Amino acid sequence: MIIADIVKVTLPAVIAFIVGIAITPVVSDFLYRKELWKKKSVSVALDGRGAPISQSLHNDEAKKTPRMGGSIIWISAAFATVVVWFISKFLPTDLSLKLDFLSRNQTWLPLFTLVIGGLLGLIDDYLETRGGGDHIAGGLSLSKRLALVSLIGLAVGSWFYFKLDVSTLGLPGGFTLPLGMLFIPFFIVVVNAIYSGGVIDGIDGLSGGIFATIFSAYAGIAFYQQQINLAAFCLAVVGGILAFLWFNIPPARFYMSETGIMGLTITLAVVAFMTDSLGGGYGILVLPVIAMPLVITTLSDIIQISSKRLRNGKKIFLVAPIHHHFQAIGWPSYKVTMRFWIIGVVFAILGVILALVG
């Protein structure tokens, strides 16, 4: 039985990876033919001040590297999920029925957020590549993107509360923290917090490696908690990320951008909550540990903005987020990426250990 579960969990990763590798030439050709890259760099920071260092590091209009590459991730993961389900329904055998991991109680919700988040992010990416929207560099403003994420968070948080009867957070030792109706706003806060970490998508290969590590960690936690279908879905996402990463390592053929970031961050929140009290664990408590690179990235932005506002424009970092600071002081981009990957793996392992020993 354990061997069968291992095959069920890992096979979707292989399928998603193969699909991602197969569709990338078509997607890549389309992105380049349509010139779907930023037409201008960000010249102003979030506080309204000039951002010359950031502009020089990105130099988007000169690189001509397409956005929307993250679509490969959610398309591949969704295809792997649906194709296994399709085979189990129309070619039913003991094996195909066993391998099917599309289930209402474990995978419908994260699959929904992955696709919806990806599609909404795709719209923002398109506006950005055409100079539309209300952001200075094109696309939707941060406030509008946060509003969209909050709206999805409200819908999904309500589903958890009203449909799945989830209103508590898991704690070590089998204890729970009751939140009642506060569960819904708490869910919205967590979704936005994770989404804010999406600014880690700023160096070739960086975000792909980090998110692959995070989803692998939660796959391990879900497997331990006998949420086999959820574990299989998480690794399907990892397979899609690895296919994307194959083409995103320096020099990147395309960027993940909002279509990947929005889908992955919202889905990560869903997965974390599903491995919490719903799965008999505490997936939310270990989330800041497993996702430490995202936490560090978000905090660096908050610290930088706060310092500039409270200290009359004085900065803590040369540029934020912090991975760009390391670039600005002379670190090669590959060194920044690899060291963030190492940090991500170490904290992911630590988070899994904490989840298992509780």
Give the model's pLDDT for residue 38: 84
Q: What is the pLDDT of residue 130?
A: 85
CB atoms inside a 10 Å sphere around CB 35: 11
Q: Which of 110, 84, 111, 90 is nearest to 8 (CA)?
A: 84
pLDDT of residue 48: 57
Other CB atoms within 10 Å distance of the CB of residue 302: 11
* pLDDT in the model for residue 134: 63
Alpha helix (H) residue ranges in the chain:
2-33, 52-58, 60-63, 71-90, 94-99, 108-129, 142-158, 183-196, 206-224, 228-248, 257-274, 287-290, 292-310, 322-328, 333-357
Q: What is the pLDDT of residues 65-117, one digit of tens each?
A: 999 999 999 999 999 999 999 999 999 999 999 999 999 999 999 999 999 99
**Whole-structure pTM value:** 0.94
State the distance between the two ends of the chain, measured CA to CA, in whole angstroms: 25
- DSSP for 171-218, please give it: -GGG-EEE-GGGHHHHHHHHHHHHHHGGGGTTSTTHHHHHHHHHHHHH
pLDDT of residue 139: 82
Q: Domain ranges for the chain, please list them.
A: 2-357
Q: Residue 2: its pLDDT value, please?
A: 86
Tell me, what's the pLDDT at 64? Answer: 86
* Residues of the chain falling short of pLDDT 70: 1, 40-63, 132-138
pLDDT number for residue 358: 73
Per-residue pLDDT at 227: 98
Four-residue CA torsion sign, 64, 53, 45, 268 = positive
SS (H, E, C) 95-144: HHHHHCCCCCCCCHHHHHHHHHHHHHHHHHHHHHHCCCECCCCCECCHHH
